[in-house]
Amino acid sequence: MTTTSHRRGLSRRAFLGLGATAAVAAGAGLAGCAPQTNGGASKGAESGSGSTAGSGTPSFMTAPEPIAEGDITETIEADIVIVGAGLSGISAARSAVENGAKNIVVVEKATTWQYRSNQVGCIGGKIQEDLGIHIDKNAVVGQIMKECGYRPNQRILNLWADHSGEAFDWYLAASEGQYVVEAESDPYDGESMSVRKMHWPHPEEANVAADYYPIFDDCQICLPDNGPYIQNMVEICEEAGVRFLYSTFARQLVRPDNAGRVEGVIVEDENGDYKKITASKAVLLATGDYASNAEMMSYYVPWSDRFASIFPNVDAKGEKTNTGDGQQMGMWIGAKMEDGPHAPMTHHLGGPLGMDAFLLVDIYGNRFMNEDVGGQPFQNQLSRLPKKTAWQIFDSKWKDQIKYMDTGHGNVNWYVESGSEVPNGSYGKNAYISEEDNEDGNTPGFTSYFEGDKAVGVTANSISELAKLMEVDEATLVATIERYNELAAAGNDEDFGKRADRLFPIEEGPFYAYPLTDTVILVNMGGLQTDVDFNVLDTEDEVIEGLYAVGNAQGGRFLVDYPLPAPGISHGMALTHGMLVGRILAQL
């Protein structure tokens, strides 16, 4: 998904401005979306009315009756069956054939292969080497472990950290000669293939060493999006003889008596006919997450099942594809779903000034947190606020203050006059692009951003007037800002501990306030437990022979919250682990 780079007024995307970061907003949590129940469960989970945690076994855990041999219209013989033609599945298929594997069948329930976004996170690789970017692997993995409550399998994270630079170079090699690397602020035509850095370089004033939630320079953006790069990998697979079965739904794994090895997959085509695909060597589950399965969400992450799912990919029947098919099929034959808490991708991207550390107040006008945190910690606080609403407040000096904010996931830190180049190079840095129709060049133009017919942001020349427009208690807001300004003048946030160099007073009008409401969910991280060789484990922690999992169907990667130290890591891990498991499959 891509967006245009210039937008009128102070919309969320106008501040993000540049297509790569705006694409994250489209795919990972726009502010102001009303919460709602996610979509229905997949066909394989329709064996009961559904139960939730504490009230018995949920229907998605109850295995359906085995599909009878007499109902199978065709048997297809394969060495390797890959269920899911997303980035992880396609990477596995390409890697396997390049390492000598034969007779591979890829099953995909959509009408073609799948992808999203334009980001890939990695450590190392030629692009980072050429730019002189050196990332401490242990610092990144350590930060992810901390933000995930030290619940992930660090050895699985290390696979990404150790091999992702190689994997990204391998990814781009399939498109050699078709793309250019543009680290500078070259104009982009919206169509050609270009690879640029995201969240880089850092403003000189940002003092990234003091970041409470550090974000590393790992992310590349592939323009116009990941699509043409993946298309080239698909063509490599097809030329090598990989067979893609689209509009084909995997229904059950074949494991007689739930003992021994997995022997294949039973699928259903768009006509409702069942086929058995035998797998003499392995079945790889690359089926994605389960955020669009309402019952699984209510069971595993009930605190997040209210979020509206904005997952864009649909199957051949027009239903969302991320319904936990692989996790369910695995559990039905004895596989272990990883212990929780699973990690919903519900990070917020903030308001007009993103997740920058400007003053936040609740609906009563009270300050409630250290504002210098990322989008997921902020959303966690927002979820507990009255009416799940906060206000971001700043004054007319905002464009001189944003340079003190680090380049990060959802931050805004560069002010660029309309028609000017983004300074120092990176296409993907978060920048506010001023609009030519802003008469004084300072007014962010709140009234240009609407939800329905209502202007969202408010602007006033006094705090009292601002409070009235916000519909908060005037005395409370005035007292809050007076206290905040005292702390800023003293250079010491005694109340919430925000660092002094991002503690800016609210004192020079005009004043701006923007409401931040509940975010949305893209995917939910929770998968089948595996070892470091991607073998799926059973409930006794023993390997299920012939069954592997990768991508969002694999557990052990992200838990509690989706971490933000390494933007693009979900795609980077799908790519890297896909490459690695493909090599393993080729040696079977």
Please answer whether residues 502 and 398 qualify as being in contact, where contact means their C-beta atoms are separated by less than 8 angstroms. no
Question: What is the radius of gyration, based on Cα positions, of the chain?
Answer: 25
Confidence of residue 26 (pLDDT cuts 50, 70, 90): very low
pLDDT at 554: 98
pLDDT at 432: 52
* Percent of the chain surpassing pLDDT 70: 83
Report, as an integer, the average pLDDT of 194-223: 90
Q: What angle do CA 581, 44, 41 make, to 5 degrees?
A: 100
Burial of 260 (0-12, 13-18, 19+ CB in 10 A): exposed
What's the one-letter identity of residue 456? Answer: V
pLDDT at 353: 86
SS3 of 510-556? CEEEEEEECCCECCEECCECECCCCEEEECCCCEEEEEEECHHHECC
- Predicted model pTM: 0.88
Q: How do residues 146-156 score in pLDDT, each as one tens digit?
A: 999 999 999 99
Q: How do residues 535-588 score in pLDDT, each as one tens digit?
A: 999 999 999 999 999 999 999 999 999 999 999 999 999 999 999 999 999 999
CA distance 158 to 532: 10
CA distance 238 to 243: 7
Confidence of residue 200 (pLDDT cuts 50, 70, 90): confident
Please answer whether residues 373 and 212 qualify as being in contact, where contact means their C-beta atoms are separated by less than 8 angstroms. yes
Please answer whether residues 20 and 119 qualify as being in contact, where contact means their C-beta atoms are separated by less than 8 angstroms. yes
Please answer whether residues 216 and 565 qualify as being in contact, where contact means their C-beta atoms are separated by less than 8 angstroms. yes
185-189, 401-405, 418-422 — most confident range? 401-405
**Tokens (6 digits) for 459:** 């602007």
pLDDT at 417: 65
**In a 3-state reduction of DSSP, which class is residue 394?**
strand
**Which residue shows structure tokens 């043409």?**
228
pLDDT at 210: 92
Report the run of H or E that residue 142 belongs to, with start and end: helix 137-147
Whether residue 203 is predicted with pLDDT greater than 60 in this model: the reply is yes
pLDDT at 442: 42
pLDDT at 330: 98
Going by their DSSP bridges, the two strands 274-285 and 543-549 should be labelled as parallel
**Least confident range of 89-103, 109-123, 199-213, 453-467:** 453-467
Whether residue 405 is predicted with pLDDT greater than 60 in this model: the reply is yes
- Residue 524's nearest CA partner among 565, 497, 495, 557 is 557
CA distance 143 to 262: 37
Q: How many CB atoms sit inside 10 A of residue 69's CB? A: 10
Q: How do residues 119-160 score in pLDDT, each as one tens digit?
A: 999 999 999 999 999 999 999 999 999 999 999 999 999 999
CATH 3.50.50.60 fits 43-115+227-343+525-586, yes or no: yes
Could you tell me the CA-to-CA distances from 59 to 42, 293, 298, 539, 576 in Å, in that order? 11, 12, 12, 18, 34
CA distance 458 to 466: 7
pLDDT at 418: 58
More confident residue, 437 or 150: 150
Q: How do residues 100-123 score in pLDDT, each as one tens digit?
A: 999 999 999 999 999 999 999 999
* Percent of the chain surpassing pLDDT 90: 76
* Helices 569-586 + 87-98 axis angle, to 10: 30
More confident residue, 12 or 423: 423
pLDDT at 503: 97
Report the run of H or E that residue 283 belongs to, with start and end: strand 274-285
- Residue 217's nearest CA partner among 93, 131, 330 is 131
Whether residue 204 is predicted with pLDDT greater than 70 in this model: the reply is yes
With a CB cutoff of 8 Å and minimum separation 6, the contacts of 454 are: none
**Tokens (6 digits) for 93:** 């298929």
More confident residue, 409 or 504: 504
- Residue 321's nearest CA partner among 523, 520, 521 is 523
Confidence of residue 32 (pLDDT cuts 50, 70, 90): very low
**Tokens (6 digits) for 19:** 């297509």
Which of 1.10.645.10, 1.10.1060.10, 3.90.700.10, 3.40.190.10 is the CATH number of 12-32+350-517?
3.90.700.10
**Which residue shows structure tokens 């069954």?**
547
Whether residue 53 is predicted with pLDDT greater than 50 in this model: the reply is no
Q: Please give the mean pLDDT across all residues of the chain.
A: 86
pLDDT at 286: 98
Confidence of residue 388 (pLDDT cuts 50, 70, 90): very high
- Residue 513's nearest CA partner among 469, 450, 473, 481 is 469
What are the extents of the domains in the chain?
A: 12-32+350-517, 43-115+227-343+525-586
- Residue 454's nearest CA partner among 471, 429, 439, 433 is 471
pLDDT at 354: 87
Q: Where are the beta strands (DSSP E) in 84-170?
A: 104-107, 119-121
CA distance 351 to 559: 26
Whether residue 52 is predicted with pLDDT greater than 70 in this model: the reply is no
- Residue 348's nearest CA partner among 369, 379, 373 is 379
- Residue 435's nearest CA partner among 17, 2, 21, 26 is 17
Report, as an integer, the average pLDDT of 343-352: 92
**Tokens (6 digits) for 159:** 């696979």
